[in-house]
Amino acid sequence: MLINFAVNGEQRALEVYPMARLLDVLREELELTGTKEGCGEGECGACTVILNGEIVNSCLVPVAQVNGADITTIEGVAGEEQLHAVQQSFIEHGGAQCGICTPGMVLAAVDLLQRNPQPSEADIRTGLAGNLCRCTGYMKIFESVVRACQK
Amino acid sequence: MRAFIPNYQLTTPASLADALALLKSEPDVWKPFAGGTDLMVLLEAGKLPHRNYINIWDLDELRGIDATDTHITLGALTTYTEIQSDPILRSEFPMLCQAASETGGLAIQNRGTLGGNIVNASPAADSPPALLAYDAEIELLSTGGSRWVPYQGFHTGYKQMHIGPDELLARIRLPRNTKGWRHYYRKVGTRKAQAISKVCFAAVSRMDHEQIVDTRIAVGSVAPIIVRCVQTENALRGRKLDTETIKLACDTLSHEISPIDDIRSTANYRLQVAKNLLTDFLLSHGLNG
């Protein structure tokens, strides 16, 4: 089937199998490899993207369901010359280690701050709850988001 | 092993009527596909049972939350995120909101639907215990029309339910008759969050002084289906709440559920936790003697 959707503000038209995972279409067809595959079953959040203003696990979204949609991947988070405040904060406060969870963590935090610019600590924990990290021990990620809110 | 994606169809109907017509035209060939949070996991594991799916995600007729004086009605595609932000659900049906908030993380809650949780028919699902305790009714739609049935009795065995091959779960309706009741929901898993339940307990009750006037209790992950514990309710109704009543209720409950050993827990642990949760629920009323 032919689908049309916007990725990071750019209109794309693609011939796809309807049940193809959005994750695979982004990575393999559009070569947007910032979106990572972790568990492939909606547990880890590594494949998080923002779909029509809400975070989703792109491994669980068949591409037929994004026809006409607006998608933001990690490649669309930074401005032309400047990183997003969340990205800058992850660099400054050691929020990234091996990097596999980082795109999902950043998008979950960006989404949280869009919905709630002054989140409580509990809001931040809940906002990141669907994203697993196996290196940092989470505190540096949590602190990166706290600091990003203060900017 | 991963599924071979070209083998699968996912067609998007233009309207609800088109979706129902397709279900009718080729019985058992087409299955509805909503937010995908369960079905895509099976796809990736190569275990998706059917090949042909109808994408119902864009059907607005299956969305929205409407309230009357007597009922609140949720479209089958209402997401866990939408459930948590509805003011009437938050004030009158807090167990459903709590279940929604404890189902996966936000990315799952944005896609997972109440109707999907029902027809996926997992005995470990989080929202059905609350729906059973709230006496939910469900609407099944087909080209032949609509029928409302009690949710209790809908599931008949593991992953089995009373739904025709041409029927679509369209709406879920809750009677607004538990205002001022006690609502108790607790999910016990390996972790406090992001875990599938070992036992999930939902109950409502109305007391008059020390007497239990009415109660409805449902428990998940302790049988092939989520169990509405009618015998335990009957044992409690009209009784004074004391230690003897609690013991009687726990004994009754242990005959009403049939937990098993599986990857998440053991039968013995589940039985003990179910009794502990029932006790905790009853003690939460305050015990005076």
Give per-residue pLDDT as tens, B244-255: 999 999 999 999
For an interface test with B, the pick among A2, A27, A39, A60 (most B C-beta atoms closer than 10 Å) comes out as A60
Residues A106 and A133 in one domain: yes
Please indicate whether, in this complex, the C-beta atoms of A42 and B57 are within 8 angstroms of each other.
no
CA-to-CA separations, B169 to A75, A96, A106, B61, B127, in angstroms, rounded: 39, 44, 37, 12, 15
Q: Nearest chain A Cα to B12, which residue?
A: A64
pLDDT score of A151: 79
Residues A101 and A60 in one domain: no
Lookup: tokens for B166: 């041409």
Last residue of a domain, one of A74, A95, A125: A74
Residues A144 and A99 in one domain: yes
How many Å apart are CA A34 and CA A43, to the nearest integer?
18
Average pLDDT over residues B164-185: 97
- Report residues of chain A scoring pLDDT below 70: none
Q: Is residue A80 part of a domain?
A: no
* Cβ contact B186:B97 at 8 Å: no
Sign of CA dihedral B64, B69, B72, B73: negative
Task: Report chain B residues whose CB lies below 8 A from the CB of A17.
Answer: 5-6, 8
* Cβ contact B77:B56 at 8 Å: yes
Closest CA to A58 of A24, A102, A108: A24
Q: Which fold has domain B182-283?
A: Enolase-like; domain 1 (3.30.390)
Give the three-state DSSP class for B78: coil
Question: Can you give the residue range of the structural domain that contains A14?
Answer: 2-74
**Helix residue ranges, H only, chain B:** 16-25, 39-44, 80-85, 87-92, 94-101, 106-109, 114-119, 127-133, 230-236, 243-256, 267-283
pLDDT score of B286: 84
Q: Does domain B1-177 have CATH number 3.40.50.620?
A: no
Q: What is the pLDDT of residues B25-76, one digit of tens each?
A: 998 999 999 999 999 999 999 999 899 999 999 999 999 999 999 999 999 9
- pLDDT tops 70 at residue B226: yes
* Cβ contact B210:B289 at 8 Å: yes
Please indicate whether, in this complex, the C-beta atoms of B10 and A64 are within 8 angstroms of each other.
yes
Q: Per-domain residue ranges for chain B?
A: 1-177, 182-283
Structural domain count, chain A: 2
* Cβ contact B259:B236 at 8 Å: no
Q: What is the pLDDT of residues B118-129, one digit of tens each?
A: 999 999 999 999
pTM for this predicted structure: 0.96
Last residue of a domain, one of A74, A94, A126: A74
Last residue of a domain, one of A74, A107, A124: A74
- pLDDT tops 60 at residue B288: no
Which residues from A are below 8 Å from B when comparing CB atoms?
Answer: 17-21, 40-43, 45, 48, 54-57, 59-62, 64-65, 67, 108, 111, 126-127, 129-131
* Cβ contact A67:A4 at 8 Å: yes
The upper half-sphere exposure of residue A44, i.e. CA atoms within 13 Å in the direction of its Cβ, equals 17
Q: How confident is the model at residue B289 (pLDDT cuts 50, 70, 90)?
A: very low
For an interface test with A, the pick among B4, B7, B40, B82 (most A C-beta atoms closer than 10 Å) comes out as B40
ipTM here: 0.97
